[in-house]
Amino acid sequence: MTNLKPAAELAAANAKPYPNDSPEYRRARVALLAEEIELRRHIERVAEQRRALPPGGEARAYHFRDENGNTVTLADLFGRHDTLCTYFWMYGPQRERPCPMCTALIGALDTPARDLSQRIAMAVIGRSPVERQLAFARERGWRNLKFYATVGDDFARDVHGLAPDGNEWPALDIWTRQDGVVRHFWGGELGGTEDPGQDARGAPDPTPLWNILDLTPGGRGTDWYPKLDYPDSRQG
C-alpha cells in the first residue's frame, strides 16, 4: 500500500460525532480513530505477508474417521476446494467435556461456515470418536461444520495439538492442495509469545469473545473465560 493519506488526516475528516459528545471526548475519539486506521492497515500488511509465504512442507499421510465411519485422508477433506482450514480442538477421549475456549471458537465458526465453505473447506478434528464430537455439536446446536476423529496421534502431534506430556492444545491450520500435493500453508505459532500480563491469543484472534469485549469500557476483565454452561442460558 503506497500513497496513503496520513491516518490522523483521515480520522479528522471522517469522524462522526454523536449527540452530546464533549470536546474532550471528541478529541480523544479522533485520536483513537487514527490508531484504529493504523491497526487496520497493519492487519492488511500482515495478511499480505501471510499470502506471500513460500510453499510449506508436504503433509504426511494422515488418516481420520468421518461421521459415517469411513477412513479418509487429509486430501479427502478438501472436497472441491484447493484450500482447507482445520481446527484441532481439545476434546480428547480422556476429557469429560471439551475445552470451553475451543467451544467458543467453534460456535463462532458454525454459522459463517456456510459462507466460508463457498471458498474453502473446513474441518473440525478431535481425538475423541467422531460420534462423541457430534453428540456435543448437536447439544450446542451446531449444524454446518464437519467433524472428524484422528486415527492415531500423528496429526495431533504434528500440528502441535498434543504435547509430549499428553496435554492437548488447540491448533488452527491452513492447508493447500495443488497438482495432488497437499502442503501446510500456515498455522498459529503464537503460543508462548504473549507479553507479561497477556492471555495467549491469535493475532488477530477469530473469536468474537475476544474482540467484542475489547470494544467495551471494561474490556475482558479478569473473569471472562467462557463456560460450557451458565446458570440461565436465556439471560445475558
C-alpha to C-alpha distance for 220 and 172, rounded to whole angstroms: 22
pLDDT digits (tens, 9 = 90+) for 189-211: 888 888 888 878 788 888 898 88
Confidence band, pLDDT 50/70/90 cuts, at residue 179? very high
Q: Which residues partner with 178 through β-bridges?
A: 181
Confidence band, pLDDT 50/70/90 cuts, at residue 3? confident
Confidence band, pLDDT 50/70/90 cuts, at residue 234? low
Write out the H or E segment, with its range, that includes residue 13. helix 7-14
Q: Residue 182 belongs to what domain range? A: 53-236
C-alpha to C-alpha distance for 10 and 109, rounded to whole angstroms: 33
Quick one: pLDDT at residue 236?
44
Q: Confirm whether pTM is higher than 0.85.
A: yes
More confident position, 1 or 185? 185
Quick one: pLDDT at residue 134?
98
34 domain-assigned: no
CATH of the domain at 165: 3.40.30.10
Quick one: pLDDT at residue 1?
52
13 domain-assigned: no
Quick one: pLDDT at residue 114?
96
Domain count, the chain: 1
Q: Is the pLDDT of residue 32 over 70?
A: yes
23 domain-assigned: no
Residue 30: count other Cβ atoms within 10 Å of its Cβ.
16
Residue with cell 481420520: 64
39 domain-assigned: no
58 domain-assigned: yes
C-alpha to C-alpha distance for 148 and 124, rounded to whole angstroms: 6
43 domain-assigned: no
Q: Which amino acid would we find at residue 123? A: A
Task: Please report the sign of the dihedral spanned by the C-alpha atoms of residue 87, residue 229, residue 219, residue 199.
Answer: negative
Do residues 121 and 159 make contact, with C-beta atoms less than 8 angstroms apart? no
Q: In the structure, how many helices (H) and strands (E) does the chain have?
A: 7, 7
45 domain-assigned: no
44 domain-assigned: no
Strand ranges in the chain using DSSP code E only, listed in sequence order: 63-65, 71-73, 83-88, 121-126, 147-150, 171-178, 181-187
Quick one: pLDDT at residue 235?
46
**Range with lowest mean pLDDT among 35-39, 70-74, 79-83, 191-195:** 191-195
